[in-house]
Structure 1
Amino acid sequence: MYLAYGWDHDEKIVRLALSFPSLREASGLHPFEPRQFEEWVRLRIFGKDDIDKQALHAGRFIIQVSNGQTWRSGPFEVVTAMLVWNDEHRSAFRAWCDSPWQRPSAR
């Protein structure tokens, strides 16, 4: 099994991702496969419905936390995300804000 940055980090990323309703069926989370997950997120750019838009911003956030870099899916923009997300998504983000963490070498 490929683990990008170690078991603890990958498990935390998966738990964080699953706290966003639009990411619960995302590819690349069981186990965490960053490239596969990012590809799934990138495909949401072309989505027209609210779920795709919410997933795009949630996915960009997860990528930012997991890696600290911007991938092809684009940068995480908190203002846009908060405007697009529903209450469940905003609650998941706020929970992370209350106790933020990131992969140490990503800082």
Structure 2
Amino acid sequence: MTVQRTPEERIAELARTFPSSLVGAPGIKPWEPRNLDSWAASVVSSGERQAACFILAVWDSGSAWDCGHFDLMKALSTWDEAHHRAFLTWAAEPWWP
């Protein structure tokens, strides 16, 4: 029997695949997108901000997040290999809650 995960569990799991940027970031566990947004809009690195913006865009691309919009080119130019891998794994089989 397959256990269905909630959208909140799935997005938190996706966020944790961005190892140095989002593990331990506010709003990941428990999932509170506004807390993640506030954190990402504060003084964080460009890579951290883009990782958070990506997760928030997957969660709700129609919202105007305080941290801004996800910028793929900026993300790819600042992320390390582990972050590229996390993004590409999602992109190979994208999903949205």
Per the normalisation by structure 2, the TM-score is 0.88
Following superposition, the deviation at residue 102 of structure 1 comes to 1.0
1:17 paired residue number:
15
Equivalent in 5, 8, 27 of residue 6 of structure 2: 8
* Ranges of 4+ aligned residues in structure 1 off by more than 2 Å: none
Unpaired runs of at least 5, structure 1: 1-6
1:3-27 per-residue CA deviation (whole Å, 9 max, x = no partner) reads: xxxx610011000000001100100
Deviations 1:74-104 (A, max 9, x none): 000101100110000000000000110112x
SS of 1:27's equivalent? coil
User: Number of paired residues?
Assistant: 91
Query: Which residue number in structure 1 is paired with residue 32 of structure 2?
Result: 33
% identical aligned pairs: 33
* Separation of aligned partners in 1, 2:7 and 2:89: 17
Structure 2 unaligned blocks of 5 or more: none
Correspondence for 1:77 among 51, 59, 71: 71
Q: Can you list the C-alpha shifts for 1:41-92, whole angstroms capped at 9, x where unaligned?
A: 111xx34xxxx22110000000000011231110001011001100000000
| 2:82 maps to which of 85, 88, 91 | 88
